Amino acid sequence: MDDLEQPISFADGPVSEPGGDGITGGADDLLFADPTYRAAVVDLLGALAYGELTAFSRLAADADMAPSQPAKAALARVAVAEFHHYDMLTIRLTEMGVDPDVAMEPFIAPIDQFHERTKPGSWLEGLVKAYVGDGIATHFYREISAYVDSSTQTLVRSVMADVGQAEFAVKTVREAIEADPTVGGRLALWGRRLVGEALSQSQRVAVERDALASLLVGGHDRPGADLAELGRMFVRLTDEHTRRMRQLGLNA
């Protein structure tokens, strides 16, 4: 089995760790005493929570389009895991004294708009979107998690972990291309469209929410990324997309 056939995690791959293992120890309490930092963490968890909730509903809908009972069961199982991640995030927000619905509200419109613009037209397009499109979001939030406290970082990386969809998506898409090579061209075009939309959404999230953007730029006694590092981050996102497309047997 060559390296392109190895099943990979939605959350795997090299991710730069500019902030090391996160901010640890007594510094955590000092960080949460800063209202800007606290608001940034609320934004991060709120965005992730709504993303996980929509992932659950989309995967459940994709399961209904599955061509076989085993495929339906596989996606349904993944959908349940995504809802568990949603629960983890809303529990943390509640522990912080934040209403999860309020934390998610700013992200409902942009996330819904992204999914409306990238509505799959087939079962295979849905799998590519889950693997490639959601993979970009996963990588983006893992990049941001390098700049948060250790407990928040652990939570973010837990909910961004693969829940079984990677191997299934790669196997299914590769088998479809082998059976009908013309499928590959159409899915490659779809993947290119997804990366453009996903990167645009990531940039909007990073720029339009001041508190969330503050995680990246840093603050007093809190390291951040300079413009050069931000540029490298988006290069890494693009490189990761290329890797995922190759994993599916598609040209980026």
Of the chain, the percentage scoring pLDDT greater than 90 comes to 36
CB burial class (10 A; 0-12, 13-18, 19+) of residue 227? exposed
Task: Spell out the domains of the chain, with CATH numbers in brackets.
Answer: 27-248 (1.20.1260.10)
Q: Report the C-alpha dihedral over residues 137, 143, 147, 151, rounded to 10 degrees.
A: 70
Dihedral of alpha carbons 207, 209, 214, 215, sign = negative
pLDDT computed for residue 226 by the predictor:
64
Q: 10-19, 93-102, 109-118: which has the minimum mean pLDDT? A: 10-19
Q: Structure pTM? A: 0.82
- Write the CA distances from 33 to 12, 74, 181, integer angstroms: 33, 43, 57
- Examine the pLDDT at 112 and tell me if it is beyond 50: yes
Q: Mind listing the pLDDT tens digit for each residue in 83-92?
A: 999 999 999 9
Q: Mind listing the pLDDT tens digit for each residue in 183-215?
A: 999 999 999 999 888 878 777 776 677 777 777
pLDDT computed for residue 227 by the predictor:
65
Q: Mind listing the pLDDT tens digit for each residue in 46-64?
A: 999 999 999 999 988 888 8
Mean pLDDT, residues 28-39 taken together: 82
Q: Mind listing the pLDDT tens digit for each residue in 127-164?
A: 999 888 888 888 888 888 888 898 999 999 999 887 76
Name the residue among 8, 6, 22, 7 with its Cα closest to residue 157: 22
